[in-house]
Amino acid sequence: MTDLAPVGLLAELTHRCPLACPYCSNPLELTRAADEMDAADWARVFHEAAALGVLQLHLSGGEPASRRDLEEIVAAARDAGLYSNLITSGIGLTEARLAALVSAGLDHVQLSVQDTDAEGSDRIGNYRGFARKMDAARWTRTLGLPLTLNAPVHRANVQHVRAFIDMALAMDAGRIEIAHVQYYGWALTNRAALLPTRAQLDDTIAVVEAARAELRGRLVIDFVLPDYYAEAPKPCMGGWGREIIVIAPDGSAMPCHAARSIPGMTFETVRARPLADIWRESAAFNAYRGTAWMKAPCQGCPQAETDWGGCRCQALALAGDAAAADPVCSLSPRHGAVAALAAAEAEAAPPPYRYRRFS
Amino acid sequence: MNAPRLKPGVRLHYDRVRDRQVLLAPERVVALDETAYAILSRVDGVTPLSAIAEGLAEAYEADAGEIAADAAALISDLAAKGYVSP
């Protein structure tokens, strides 16, 4: 049992998406349309989430606009009192549809753009969508909705960070999220093509710091570092089972969107059990909650309740053990090997992308 | 004097599970203390900050200068973080 209360719910409404980004955070095994929960299921889950303490709802996918009942789902979020954030590629939105989403109570749009020009953006997403993304940004603002530009950064566009910031200003976005790709799922598969060099990373840090000083009060700049070059791990998801719940299209409730990569972990579905019970009592949510599961060097570490041991999926991917210290931590025995691997991959010629696909 | 207003996508919300007032914004939840909530609940894009401070001083029988300073500091901080247009 836990008395923790989650703050955020990431609702993966569908895994369908017209884009095929090689760093997609969805699992390699994608859920098919026939297995998706319907709007009534989601409405019930939103009320359960709000009663549990959730304040922020992220409507994600795949592409959430691929769902014809998105308007109904947004209305249910507002009815449950949740702050709704639509995380979209922009494809599938029209001005009329956005207006309907505003009427349904949508609070915020987070629009991803893959690069700062059409050629680069369409190549990375493997889809001719850049012009429609620009339309979606314009409609969002003319309808009075706040806009965040989401810029996933990796080797092919790492030199365009300032151009992304200028794009956000031109779009009249209030916020930009410059997120170095995190290496799970499809991004892990494509890591050798995506990982930037240390020098490229340092350049982005300098650009962001200068822009933050220049644009204070005008544009909120959130910046996510690629932690392969870090010395201390990130508190992944704010700690396992502490702040965030992810629900997959089929209703599986998970502590993080990559948790399916951990062998032996089973996820209960909100179709079969109340969300509060899953949050408090399920084996999956309790597996790495708190500090009791930790091994050396995490056990007893003064940072244990700050970084919560870092990321379990990354520990599995890089150390072969989901209960090990996240190897990006300088205290991990695997830290040197990860740094060497990152340096070697980032310096080598990039292989072609393996685009996201339904298998 | 300008009247402060919450930026689009920013709203006050009562967090019933934790029994507190919060400001909800894109990717952010800001917990508000009693003073901050009292000020922000009067921010409407029409009322100047000076009038908000005067109203609060009267309602709480507090020192007007102190409230005005608190209100100015809060609005300036929230403006820098992108939640409020001052």
Instruction: Indicate the SS3 state at residue A221.
Output: strand
Nearest-by-Cβ selection for B26 from A5, A81, A85:
A85
Answer whether B17 sits within 8 Å of A144, measured CB to CB: no
Q: List chain A residues with CB under 8 Å of B29.
A: 7, 55-56
Q: What is the pLDDT of residues A315-359, one digit of tens each?
A: 999 999 999 999 999 999 999 999 999 999 999 999 999 999 987
Torsion A19-A20-A23-A25 (CA) sign: positive
Residues 6+ apart with CB under 8 A from B66: none
Q: What is the pLDDT of residues A227-264, one digit of tens each?
A: 899 889 999 999 999 999 999 999 999 999 899 989 99
Answer whether A83 sits within 8 Å of B15, measured CB to CB: no
Q: What is the pLDDT of residues A28-63, one digit of tens each?
A: 889 999 999 999 999 999 999 999 999 999 999 999
User: Which chain B residue has the Cα nearest residue A109?
Assistant: B26
Mean pLDDT across chain A: 96
Q: What is the pLDDT of residues A199-208, one digit of tens each?
A: 999 999 999 9
Strand partners, A112: A150
Residues in A lying within 8 Å of B, measured between beta carbons? 5, 7, 51-53, 55-56, 81, 83, 85, 107-108, 110, 144-146, 148, 174-175, 177, 216-220, 222
Nearest-by-Cβ selection for A55 from B7, B22, B80:
B22
- Give the number of other CB atoms < 10 A from CB of residue A287: 18
Contact of A7 with A244, CB cutoff 8 Å? yes
CA distance A30 to A7: 26
Read off the DSSP letter of residue A334: T
ipTM exceeding the 0.85 mark: yes
Answer whether A216 sits within 8 Å of B80, measured CB to CB: yes
Peptide bond into A302 cis (omega under 30): no
Closest CA to A201 of A159, A152, A163, A235: A159
Q: List chain A residues with CB under 8 Å of B80.
A: 216-217
